């Protein structure tokens, strides 16, 4: 009986992103605790998943949002807040789209750009949006995230069945 309960709990624990993945947030408070900026909370969640992975050699990483069909930089304060959390995150101005895909303008090496799109909030406590990334010229499939503010923090659920191609 104890084994039947333990296995599902272990499976669920694999879906949790640590509050301080790989020491990248430098002890800063979670951005998921800020109710009035759900888009920033979602980008933080997406980046935390990436930086918690065991990739040994990371390209330059940038973040963007698409609104009205145009991919743009995050608001300066949002971009700064994320760069304070993730020392490997660069401003979008450092990533440039070329014939070879996204590249770091300083090094001319490939870059990866995470993008939020179709973000919408039905209420102050319920939002949804899609996240994807482009590395070089290869674009990932988009994953839909639904978010709910529980009174203390945003909670995220991804729906891997609802996917669409970005670009």
Task: Give pLDDT tens digits for 104-125.
Answer: 999 999 999 999 999 999 999 9
Q: How confident is the model at residue 69 (pLDDT cuts 50, 70, 90)?
A: confident
pLDDT (mean) for 45-55: 91
Question: What's residue 14's pLDDT?
Answer: 36
Gyration radius of the chain over CA positions: 16
pLDDT at 9 over 70: no
Work out how many domains the chain is built from and give that number: 1
Q: Higher-confidence residue: 101 or 28? A: 101
What percentage of the chain exceeds 70 in pLDDT?
78
Determine which helix (DSSP H) or strand (DSSP E) holds 152, and give its type and residue range: none
Which of the four pLDDT bands, split at 50, 70 and 90, describes residue 57? confident
Lookup result for tokens 């300083």: 106
Burial of 27 (0-12, 13-18, 19+ CB in 10 A): exposed
Q: What percent of the chain has pLDDT over 90?
A: 63
Question: Is 0.85 topped by the overall pTM?
Answer: no
CA-CA-CA-CA dihedral for 82, 83, 84, 88, to nearest 10: 120
Q: What is the per-residue pLDDT for 23?
A: 36
pLDDT attached to residue 116: 97
pLDDT of 26 above 60: no
Residue 142 domain boundaries? 2-165
Between strands 111-123 and 101-104, the pairing is: unpaired
Q: Is it the case that residue 58 has pLDDT exceeding 60?
A: yes
């Amino acid at each position: 009986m104890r084994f039947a309960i333990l296995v599902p709990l272990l499976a669920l624990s694999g879906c949790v992103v640590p509050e301080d993945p790989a020491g990248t947030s430098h002890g800063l408070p979670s951005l998921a605790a800020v109710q009035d900026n759900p888009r920033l909370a979602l980008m933080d969640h997406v980046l935390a998943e990436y930086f918690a992975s065991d990739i040994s050699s990371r390209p330059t990483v940038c973040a963007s949002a698409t609104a009205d069909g145009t991919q743009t930089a995050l608001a300066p304060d949002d971009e700064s807040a994320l760069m304070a959390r993730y020392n490997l995150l660069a401003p979008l101005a450092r990533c440039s789209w070329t014939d070879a895909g996204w590249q770091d303008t300083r090094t001319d090496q490939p870059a990866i750009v995470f993008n939020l799109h179709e973000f919408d909030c039905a209420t102050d406590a319920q939002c949804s949006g899609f996240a994807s990334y482009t590395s070089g010229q290869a674009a990932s499939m988009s994953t839909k995230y639904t978010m709910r503010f529980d009174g203390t923090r945003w909670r995220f659920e991804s729906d891997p069945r609802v996917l669409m191609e970005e670009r």
